[in-house]
Amino acid sequence: MARRRIGIWLIGARGGVATTVTVGLQALRRGLAGCQGLVTALPQFAHLDLAEWNDFVLGGHDIRDTTLADEAQKLHDVSRALDAGLISACKSDLRRIDAQIRPGVLLNVGSTITGLASDALRQVVETPREAIDRVQRDLRQFVESQRLDQLVVVNLASTEPRRETLDLPERWKDLSKLLDKPRKCPLAASSLYAIAALDLGYPYVNFTPSPGSAPAAIQELAVERGTCHMGHDGKTGETLLKSVLAPMFASRHLEVMSWVGHNIFGNMDGLVLDNPENKATKVTSKDRLLREILGYDPQTHVSIEYIRSLGDWKTAWDHIHFRGFLGTPMILQFTWQGCDSLLAAPLVLDLVRLTELAARRGETGLLTFLASFFKSPLGTPEQDFIRQFQMLQRWAAGPAPGATD
Amino acid sequence: MARRRIGIWLIGARGGVATTVTVGLQALRRGLAGCQGLVTALPQFAHLDLAEWNDFVLGGHDIRDTTLADEAQKLHDVSRALDAGLISACKSDLRRIDAQIRPGVLLNVGSTITGLASDALRQVVETPREAIDRVQRDLRQFVESQRLDQLVVVNLASTEPRRETLDLPERWKDLSKLLDKPRKCPLAASSLYAIAALDLGYPYVNFTPSPGSAPAAIQELAVERGTCHMGHDGKTGETLLKSVLAPMFASRHLEVMSWVGHNIFGNMDGLVLDNPENKATKVTSKDRLLREILGYDPQTHVSIEYIRSLGDWKTAWDHIHFRGFLGTPMILQFTWQGCDSLLAAPLVLDLVRLTELAARRGETGLLTFLASFFKSPLGTPEQDFIRQFQMLQRWAAGPAPGATD
Amino acid sequence: MARRRIGIWLIGARGGVATTVTVGLQALRRGLAGCQGLVTALPQFAHLDLAEWNDFVLGGHDIRDTTLADEAQKLHDVSRALDAGLISACKSDLRRIDAQIRPGVLLNVGSTITGLASDALRQVVETPREAIDRVQRDLRQFVESQRLDQLVVVNLASTEPRRETLDLPERWKDLSKLLDKPRKCPLAASSLYAIAALDLGYPYVNFTPSPGSAPAAIQELAVERGTCHMGHDGKTGETLLKSVLAPMFASRHLEVMSWVGHNIFGNMDGLVLDNPENKATKVTSKDRLLREILGYDPQTHVSIEYIRSLGDWKTAWDHIHFRGFLGTPMILQFTWQGCDSLLAAPLVLDLVRLTELAARRGETGLLTFLASFFKSPLGTPEQDFIRQFQMLQRWAAGPAPGATD
Amino acid sequence: MARRRIGIWLIGARGGVATTVTVGLQALRRGLAGCQGLVTALPQFAHLDLAEWNDFVLGGHDIRDTTLADEAQKLHDVSRALDAGLISACKSDLRRIDAQIRPGVLLNVGSTITGLASDALRQVVETPREAIDRVQRDLRQFVESQRLDQLVVVNLASTEPRRETLDLPERWKDLSKLLDKPRKCPLAASSLYAIAALDLGYPYVNFTPSPGSAPAAIQELAVERGTCHMGHDGKTGETLLKSVLAPMFASRHLEVMSWVGHNIFGNMDGLVLDNPENKATKVTSKDRLLREILGYDPQTHVSIEYIRSLGDWKTAWDHIHFRGFLGTPMILQFTWQGCDSLLAAPLVLDLVRLTELAARRGETGLLTFLASFFKSPLGTPEQDFIRQFQMLQRWAAGPAPGATD
């Protein structure tokens, strides 16, 4: 049977994570990489009819003047994160994919991100509606030129500054009207991309802490268009550990008095988060789950600092001060030394495979069974990683598409 | 309604854990302690008709010449583990309970433990059968004199040396015959106490890595006598973390290449484990679960070292070297600084409450729903802590005693 | 021979460090404490004619409504830092010393510190000159009533906010004129106390990062009055380690790329430093020495966070990213868990003993041989701890007072 | 003026350290590497007339069947320690140097090391005297064929098992007689190489914990032949930190109660040290200095474990439990993640440069001014790293060769 052709459209297509997705996908196709880090390669998902590595076609948006090859080289030189041999084996692929990357959207992304953009892009003036139209033209053109059966849009762009969205209309028809009024429309790029994709019926996954498809009106749009989406903020390191360790403290009735987490790293993401406005979005996402798992509010502190020399190596030190029997204070500390792009990239591939299958199965709206992949999963209060993973396993064990139930 | 009177019979009644159980129980009765560390005090178990702190009466066996008050003082002086005010508030209680502690059994406990015993006890010569009879007289006398409705026996004694038990008969009637033949009977004290308790129909819980009730023949005895039991090796610190973190690596398909754990502490348990024979029993128990959770065999190393100055503060450093996407090596390290007796004591109280309720509900044989409390839970392959805890929650949500089903 | 009577006048006399100095001095007198932590009790200083514990008489200033006994109890309850038995043995001493503590000065100490002061004190309106006069009356009265041969004033008060002092006159006669003009006088309390003491000829030691006697004009005053002083910012924990480890990297030509230090603690000092203005003063003091030792500027980050549950236990995590041969990046991390007041208090006693001896020997101006005690030693560029300690040893090996040279 | 030609003869010439010395030297010559990690490249040694990178010619002994290129590749593949581009730039150099490596000596090196040797070498039967003669022929042939002005022999071979050497004669003339009696001669290969070199008047440096030139009789030989030597055991990681941190505890009168050090790594050195006999030699060397610096005996524990996945990355966790004022226990922990070969290799180059200069200056016997480079420096009790470094600086500031004094 002829395989389906699945497009993966990456927002932030030349960032560290997207570059690693791109190089990694070539490595998987050529058999140059094992399946470490790929959740969908676990035996318990082997029976699912997931898309295969050869089914995927890559494209995307980016705002910077650079090339995939340069970014891959940087991951090697600064962070020893990608193998030199692998990069040179992929050179021509990277050049080909570069040609499929279109200029991104800068609306409401804040001064730090705008500062990274190409000169040409910074001079573009467009309303939200115009930006959406432009993005949709890019998506349609990609689907047509590549003869795709499906397209999954994934947001991997830098974190946008936190914005007040309290007044955002909750219905799509009301929000829609704002798109022509730049002054009144608080939506930032991540949400405009989401609207563009969902409106065309393409699934959308938000791997970043930016709002993306989270606003109620956009969720309504997804359901109306019969497509699916999920977010937000990929859970790759320190927060993954929180979602694993906090349930232990809760189950053992050990009272967490304080949980301090210091994160240091030196990649582009770190540079953007060094701006307090952007950082606020991220810290909220990293911090919230403790209260939800523990059922009370320990004192918490999360810091994220840009330390150039670390490159892509995100290092976290967490200090958990807890009280056991008879009120005795005890301490757990951990340090996590993980290569950020290499932790995130396989999860992006997993999310694309699972989302594509869910779409094929006809699921619409939020894909809550993907909760284990996110720091702040939309549509579910479950924050315990193992229980989230059980949600995924139950979904995987469920009826195949086309089965009557 | 008149409350039931429940005896708790502690083997190793003047050790660090038992002393903390004893002082802690007084503190709970007097409202001097919160419920941190007590699993059964969590809201999800509030509906169970568990015994209350005032229902319990304490007694036990010990092999050393010391007093509860002296041991409690040592926990304060050496380890800052018990509050001076609390100890002096309990002085008269401790003296009263001391009077309920009988001389223990030294059969096959190895030279290190024998070296700690009182002179009188070291001169006792008895067959396994005679030791069991003596223990049973002590238990019966305690039940009668205290007018108890139930008695739960808990093994908290030092870890026995590892012994070959391959030839142990699998049927109780065959094992029973060996009890009169000291030379042929490889059972150590922990199993003799288990036989003594179960044979009288009293539930038995083994909180140590010693064999206790694990041999098949003793499990058969428990079922024959219509009582219940569980073990073994209370999961209080480093291994608890392993059973929480290993499932994370497994679920994320991160390949654990090596897992090194170094444990240092300075209490009596540490002194006994400083003997390589006794340590072997413990290390096996701490190490096994990784293979079972991960499904493959990473290189592992577990060390336990006696460092006098640390007293009861068990400090563990774990270094986990794992491989992510594209084979990239990454590292998680943690240090755990926990006060051993204060981590173990509330679990002992939990196990007594849950076992007593299970016995009241008529359950017999292994109580596998208690798996989350043990490093090496008998009767179940489940090693993932959160799944083990779900077993406990499901049991707790089950039918109340007396319900028809 | 009759012993001399030496007064110790503590600014911040009921803070954590001062309370520990006070309780500790009683413990030393009664033989209830060993000499751990006391540099002057090392064998290499045994030949010096230092004042003995019984020679000291305590008094001081404080701004809060509390008692030494309450503060000592808090150090026990919150931080397990002082032994309950020791506190109760000192009860009457503490009450007696409380009577020697006078209301402090609030000029230019910032809103956080002012917020901690007693209501009465917050209503005092006084010029800098009036504050100095008031302090001098207190000092004189103490010296006379206690028939003291010498008085050493030590600043242990909370860190003041950083202030611009660029325009401060460099000569004492010019600075002196500003003291009557509150609007024009940028001096904060720490400097007013310094002026009060030095002007009377009493030695002054600044154990805090506040300016104290650092301004050139005040240094001139000390020399004019023939007395001595030193500062500033006691080196007790993370910075001590920096001054020990940085010389290692320098001597081995290992290039420090980044040095990140995160400090968390929960005592009064932490509360005050939680105000960014006050924190700025401290961070500068902790950070500067790296550049001075290494000879270049690695990226550095120092954070200090107030984490209530930690009480007096200052916990620091430092992550040092360095480059070895062929540019290979490597990592040293440390965590320091020290009880702040107990690290500082013996150094205060050491500084008093050494300063008193220096004064007796007729030394005037800055006592640079005390550099090893300070994060930012005045009057010397030496930041390598071992070399600083050699300065102390050389001084100690020098001619005794009264010797002809 | 024509440069001198200096031979470097490496025992263990294809091991990790030697391979890194070899690759590193090529990188330095070609300007492909900075001078990080090279002590002799510090400004304070710039005035010394040290040999330059182009002056050196490499040769050596090894016992294994392998090539420098393969070993360099392994350092890249397993440990990411050497850059792929650098290795391929050096390919032809490595092949040329391989041709200068002769078969080594296996006398008394123990079964683990012998097990690594080539089949041919394992069949060699020779007396100690014959082995020395063979080594001397190799050295002479190298000096002549390469027209060398000087040759420095450096021992980088795997650690030999600990042997009793109490009965070893203290005079060279007596020891010399044993060399023909294999049964009576307890000397291992490291000492035979030392004898071979020193007897020919070539300086010898022992970078390993093996005995080498330490026996008194061999020291006598060095003086008789008018040459110099030094050892032993290069101080690269955990012990370097001990020699820096222990003086801090001593100077602050903080009582070290226990110092635990766990070392894990997976290179060839680790494999050999996994044999308890070989490990004993190393542990003694790592442990001794604490007592010497502190002046008392804290409880210490040093473990070294072979963890395959770590390759050349030596990771150490140290836990230091100390007592401050009023006996309060506090904790310092550190983790060191250093690439062993890259820490050691520049020190080898430093030692060669400094030893060659000392020999040129006419120094004979032990070069104690090199103490800072060694875990167990011969001929000096000084263990404080900073004071050891001051010894080096004082030597460097001394009179130049040829100066009259």
In a domain, A405, yes or no: no
B interface toward D at CB cutoff 8 Å? 80, 257-258, 260, 262, 264, 299, 301, 303, 305, 307-310, 315, 317, 319, 321, 329, 331, 333, 335, 337
Report how far residue B67's alpha carbon sits from residue C371's, in angstroms, rounded to the nearest whole number: 51
Look up residue A398 and give its DSSP letter: S
Does the beta-carbon distance from D260 to B264 stay under 8 Å? yes
Q: Does A301 contact C307 at a Cβ distance shorter than 8 Å?
A: yes
Do C84 and B85 count as a contact with CB atoms less than 8 A apart? Answer: yes
Residues D94 and D175 in one domain: yes
Mean pLDDT of C155-184: 88
Same domain, D347 and D329: no
Average pLDDT of chain C to the nearest whole number: 92
Q: Are residues B191 and B263 in the same domain?
A: no
Q: How confident is the model over B40-86, as pLDDT tens digits?
A: 999 999 999 999 999 999 999 999 999 999 999 999 988 888 988 89
Q: Report the chain A residue with the minimal C-alpha distance to residue D84.
A: A84
- Report residue C183's pLDDT band, with 50, 70 and 90 as the boundaries: confident
Closest residue, chain A, to C299 (C-alpha): A307
Of A79-83, B135-139, B247-251, C163-167, least confident by mean pLDDT is C163-167
B15 occurs within a structural domain: yes
Residues of chain D where predicted confidence (pLDDT) is lower than 50 = 401-405
The DSSP string of C300-363 is EEEEEEE-GGGTTEEEEEEEEEEE-GGG-EEEEEEEEEEEHHHHHHHHHHHHHHHHHHHHHTT-
Please report all neighbours of A, defined by 3+ CB atom pairs within 8 A: B, C, D
Give CA separation, B205 vs A260, B18, B51, C355, in Å: 37, 14, 17, 64
D150-155 vs D6-11, strand pairing mode: parallel
Question: What is residue B71's predicted lDDT score, i.e. its pLDDT?
Answer: 95
How many structural domains are present in chain B? 2
pLDDT of res. A2: 65
Q: C402 lies in a domain?
A: no
Of residues A353 and C287, which shows the higher confidence score? A353
Do the domain assignments include residue B403? no
How far apart are the CA of C82 and the nearest CA of chain A, in angstroms?
16
pLDDT of residue D280: 76
| Structural domain ending residue among the three candidates D338, D353, D380 | D338
**Are the beta carbons of A329 and C308 separated by less than 8 Å?**
no
Identify the domain containing residue C74 by its residue range: 6-233+342-396
Among the partner residues D241, D325, D345, nearest to C325 by beta-carbon distance: D345
ipTM of the complex: 0.94
pLDDT in tens, C225-239: 999 999 999 999 889
Among the candidates B338, B355, B374, a domain finishes at B338
pLDDT at D392: 97
Most A-contacting residue of C260, C265, C267, C335 (CB-CB within 10 A), to test interface: C260
C79: closest chain B residue by CA: B80
Contact B327 A27 (CB under 8 A): no
Residue D304 with chain B: CB contacts under 8 Å: none
- Note whether A258 and A204 are same-domain residues: no
The pLDDT value recorded for residue D273 is 77
Q: Tell whether A246 and A371 lie within a shared domain.
A: no
Mean per-residue pLDDT over chain B, rounded: 92
Say whether both B383 and B330 belong to one domain.
no
CA distance A304 to chain B (A): 18
Contact B315 D319 (CB under 8 A): yes
Query: Do residue C51 and residue C192 come from a single domain?
Result: yes
pLDDT at D165: 65
Residue D400 is predicted with a pLDDT of 53
CB atoms B299 and D309 under 8 Å: yes
pLDDT attached to residue D283: 73
A370 and A322 co-located in one domain: no
Domain of A355, CATH number, reads 3.40.50.720
List alpha helices for A330-371, DSSP H.
340-360
Measured between beta carbons, the chain B residues lying within 8 angstroms of D276 are none
Per-residue pLDDT of chain A (405 residues; tens, 9 = 90+): 568 999 999 999 999 999 999 999 999 999 999 999 999 999 999 999 999 999 999 999 999 999 999 999 999 988 888 988 899 999 999 999 999 999 999 999 988 899 999 999 999 999 999 999 999 999 999 999 999 999 999 999 999 988 776 689 999 999 999 999 888 888 999 999 999 999 999 999 999 999 999 999 999 999 999 999 999 999 998 899 999 999 999 999 999 999 999 999 988 777 777 777 777 777 776 677 899 999 999 999 998 899 999 999 999 999 999 999 999 999 999 999 999 999 999 999 999 999 999 999 999 999 999 999 999 999 999 999 999 999 999 999 986 544 433
Whether residue A69 sits in one domain with residue A113: yes
Query: CATH no. for residue B289?
Result: 3.30.360.10
Confidence of residue C405 (pLDDT cuts 50, 70, 90): very low
pLDDT of amino acid C184: 86
Do the domain assignments include residue C84?
yes
Q: Flag if D85 and A85 touch (Cβ within 8 Å).
A: no
Q: pLDDT (tens digit, 9 = 90+) per residue, B177-228?
A: 999 988 888 899 999 999 999 999 999 999 999 999 999 999 999 999 999 9
Predicted local confidence at residue D328, as pLDDT: 95
The alpha carbon of residue A267 is apart from the nearest alpha carbon of chain C, in Å, by: 14
Q: Higher model confidence: residue B74 or residue B404?
A: B74
Q: Are both A146 and A160 inside the same structural domain?
A: yes
Q: Looking at the whole model, is its pTM more than 0.90?
A: yes
Asked if B333 and D329 come within 8 Å (Cβ–Cβ), the reply is: no
From C338, C357, C372, the end of a domain falls on C338
Residue D157, both tokens: 């071979």
Tokens of C217: 């004009």
Which residues of D sit within 8 Å Cβ distance of A? 80, 84-85, 335
Residue B85 with chain C: CB contacts under 8 Å: 84
Confidence (pLDDT) at C393: 96
Residue B1 lies in a domain: no
- pLDDT above 90 (res C404): no
Size of interface A-C (CB pairs under 8 A): 64
Burial D96-125 (b: 16+ CB within 10 A, else e): ebbebbbbbbbbbbbebbeebbbeebeeee
Same domain, A195 and A59: yes
The answer to whether the CB of D103 falls within 8 A of the CB of D63 is yes
Do A275 and A150 lie in a common domain?
A: no
What are the DSSP calls for A55-123, one per residue?
GEEEEEEE-SS--HHHHHHHHHHHH--S-HHHHHHHHHHHHHHHTTEEE---TT-HHHHHHHS-HHHHT
**C308 contact residues in A (CB cutoff 8 A):** 257-258, 299
Residue B278 has pLDDT above 50, yes or no: yes
- pLDDT, tens digit, 9 for 90 and up, residues B153-186: 999 999 998 877 668 999 999 999 999 988 888 8
D273 domain residue, yes or no: yes
Is there a contact between D301 and B310 if contact means CB atoms under 8 Å apart?
A: no
Percentage of residues of chain C with pLDDT beyond 90: 82
pLDDT tens profile C329-387: 999 999 999 999 999 999 999 999 999 999 999 999 999 999 999 999 999 999 999 99
**Model confidence over B310-369: pLDDT tens digits?**
999 999 999 999 999 999 999 999 999 999 999 999 999 999 999 999 999 999 999 999
Question: Hey, what are B320's tokens?
Answer: 């986990």
> What per-residue confidence (pLDDT) applies to C278?
75
Task: List the chains bordering chain B where 3 or more Cβ pairs fall under 8 Å.
Answer: A, C, D
The confidence score (pLDDT) of residue C208 equals 95
Give the tokens for residue D398: 């001394």
Query: B307 and D315: CB-CB below 8 Å?
Result: no
Q: Of D309, D317, D321, which is closest to B317 when you measure between CB atoms? A: D317
The answer to the question of residue B404 being in a domain is: no
